[in-house]
Amino acid sequence: MQLRAAIPALLALFGCTQASEVTPVQKVIQLMEGMLAKGKEEKHSEQVQFAAFKQFCDDTTVEKQRAILDADEKIDVLKADIEKYIATAAKLTKEIAEHDEDISVWTGDQKAATTVREIEKADYDALHQDYSESVDALQRAIAVLKKQAHDRPQASLVQVSALNKLSLIPDSAKKAIEIFLQQSPDEGLEVSAPEAAGYEFQSHGVIEMLEKLLDKFIEERTALE
């Protein structure tokens, strides 16, 4: 565009300088050569700028593409992690529900076992107390019978009669004690020698029976403990 605009000026200059030493053609050639050199310089400068910009664009494109690939890989990894964590969460939720159910069952079993143990302990305590009371009562009754004299009042045999109120004393033993108490001498009455001997013999039999019961109860109480 600059060259075309300069042509009329060159023609005018050519018409005015025909008589000078430098011919118009030479002037035109010199001017055109200068313009050509300047155009080449500007073209080279533009080419350099374009090459630099193109290199920047190429580098930026490679960098962005690499970043996009890295981001896509990260997205794929994160998606896989999310799926894995979702599956793990579902599995753990199921396991938690199962554990909650187990805990509920174990809690119920524990309460039931505690109730059973409390009942068993209450039964044990009651039975142990029965044995202890029976052992004490038998010891007192045996002591009374061993010290019993024929002329002592019937009231002294209250320890023996109290045995019939104990639940652990067998019915056969209660019956023997009842018969023995009915045959004991009355207070203030004279007793013949045969009657006294018979009473003493029966007293020994009762003592022997009570001592066997005492040994039995002590052994069972020890086994219970």
Q: For 57-75, how does the pLDDT look when each residue is reduced to its tens digit (9 = 90+)?
A: 999 999 999 999 999 999 9
The distance from CA 127 to its chain's CA centroid, rounded to whole angstroms, is 40
Quick check: 151 pLDDT over 50?
no
Q: Which amino acid is at 144?
A: V
Torsion of CA 65, 70, 71, 74, to 10 degrees: 160
* Predicted pLDDT at 148: 67
Q: Answer for the pair 132, 222: CB distance below 8 angstroms, yes or no.
A: no
Tell whether the model's pLDDT for residue 203 goes beyond 80: no
- Hey, what are 79's tokens? 């998606």
Q: Which of 174, 147, 143, 146 is nearest to 161 (CA)?
A: 174
CB distance 127 to 148 below 8 Å: no
d(CA 76, CA 123): 69
Percent of the chain at pLDDT exceeding 90 = 47
Q: Give the predicted TM-score (pTM) of the model.
A: 0.48
**If you average pLDDT over residues 104-131, what whole number do you get?**
92
Residue with tokens 């045969």: 194
